[in-house]
Amino acid sequence: MAAAHDDPSLMRNIGAFFGHIFDAIYEKAPDSEASTTTTQSSSEQPIEVQRDVQEAKYGDYILTRTTIDEVRRADTKTDTSESKPCQ
Domain boundaries, the chain: 47-72
Report the amino acid identity of residue 4: A
The residue among 49, 51, 53, 54 whose CA lies nearest residue 68 is 51
Q: Is the pLDDT of residue 79 over 60?
A: no
Weakest mean pLDDT among 5-14, 35-44, 52-61, 78-87? 35-44
Residue 37 pLDDT > 80, yes or no? no
Task: DSSP for 25-85, please give it.
Answer: HSPPPPPHHHHS-TT--GGGS-EEEEEEEEEEEETTEEEEEEEEEEE-PPPTTS-GGG---
One-letter amino acid at 30 equals P
